[in-house]
Amino acid sequence: MITGATGFIGQAACEQLLARGWAVKGTVRSSSQNVAGLPAGVIPCSVDSLGPGTDWRAALSGIDVIVHLAARVHIMKEIAEDSLMEFRQVNTHATERLARMAVQTGVRRLVFLSTIKVNGENTGNRAFTEEDMPNPQDDYALSKWEAEQALKRVASDTGLDVVILRAPMVYGPGVKGNFLRLLQAVQRGMPLPLASIHNRRSIIFLANLVEAIIICMTHPQAKSKTYLVCDDEHMSTGELISRIARALGKSAKLWPFPAELLRFAAMLAGKSSEADKLLGSLLVDSSKIRSELNWKPSASLDRGLAETARWFLQAQSTSS
């Protein structure tokens, strides 16, 4: 069963699992009964709004492995009065509820997609590892860290096999959020003052992440483990923009500007967290999953960007 099956990662996971011969259920929100986003061949299963009272029983019937992707993600313009409560309802309480009901129905393993933001927001020159002390710095990351802890409690209480994956920014066909905004900025030829930024950031291509998820579903050595995943290449924001531009057949419009002044301007505009994502370093060490599960990214950065650019340009031409 894939929760969040109609999402960016969920659709890709469903398609790959079907191609490999799995029978796949995908959860959809019962309030909308909308199955249009499910890949053909996925068995739709309706669930209520996610929270501590969600009834997962019908969805869990006959399931031996869960991939839990459904989440309340970071929102650019938060309108909730208590955003932490809203994040906890979906990301923490619904996850624990799912795990406890999974035990009752005989599920063998639950793979939970968490976030590298559990480790923190900035690494400097040292990469995050699974052994680092968690340091979540926003409501989304905190709710994911609390979900991880809840899953470990359930595993300890019941013997449920839980595998946790922490991923950095994911890109690929269908991407949204900050990466989509970068694509749009480069396509428009927007001048970006990032030529002087010498940070280092890890990212992961959608297909590579899905391969890691599938390995974690099946590999016996993944039992009760937490893994960090990322692509092979780590680069500055400016280099990433240049590679995106090349994939789009454009010239990158980068010009130098002092990082300190960019941070100051972002602070004045109330955009410090957004600036950190562009200017700071976030490095991921994925050596543990590579050595223990023999996982390695099959797609290079250039291939991933080429596939993403193809999707983006096609979507633009379709919408126009």
Length of the chain: 320
Distance CA 107, CA 276 (A): 40
Determine the pLDDT at residue 79. 61
Structure tokens at 231: 């692509």
Structure tokens at 38: 């499910």
Q: What is the pTM of this model?
A: 0.93
Q: What are phi and psi of 32, to 5 degrees?
A: -105, -25
Distance CA 282, CA 292 (A): 23
Tokens 């692509």 locate to 231
Determine the pLDDT at residue 224. 94
Determine the pLDDT at residue 196. 87
Instruction: Let me know: does 206 contact 267? Beta carbons within 8 Å.
Output: no
Distance CA 162, CA 109 (A): 6
Distance CA 142, CA 275 (A): 20
Is residue 320 packed enough to be buried (19+ CB in 10 Å), middle (13-18) or exposed (0-12)?
A: exposed
Q: Measured in Å, how far apart are the chain's first and last C-alpha atoms?
A: 36
Just list the catalytic residues: 140
Q: Could you list the pLDDT tens digit for every one of the 320 residues in the chain?
A: 999 999 999 999 999 999 999 999 999 876 455 677 889 999 999 888 899 999 999 899 999 999 999 999 866 455 667 889 999 999 999 999 999 999 999 999 999 999 999 999 999 889 999 999 999 999 999 999 999 999 999 999 999 999 999 999 999 999 998 899 999 999 999 999 888 889 999 999 999 999 999 999 999 999 999 999 999 999 999 999 999 999 999 999 998 888 888 888 878 888 777 777 788 899 999 999 999 999 999 999 999 999 999 999 999 888 76
Q: What is the DSSP string of 257-296?
A: --HHHHHHHHHHTT-HHHHHHHHS-B-B--HHHHHHH---
Distance CA 164, CA 283 (A): 18
48-75 pLDDT, tens digit each: 889 999 999 989 999 999 999 999 986 6
Residue 50: C-alpha distances to residues 28, 116, 305 (Å): 11, 23, 33
Mean pLDDT of the chain: 92
Q: Which amino acid is at 121?
A: E
DSSP-derived 3-state class of residue 67: strand
Angle of helix 301-319 versus helix 206-218 axis, rounded to 10: 120
Other Cβ atoms closer than 10 A to 122: 16
Q: What are phi and psi of 114, to 5 degrees?
A: -100, -155
DSSP-derived 3-state class of residue 212: helix
Structure tokens at 150: 């809840």
Domains of the chain, first to last: 2-168+205-231+283-298 (3.40.50.720)
Residue 42: C-alpha distances to residues 47, 71, 142 (Å): 15, 20, 32
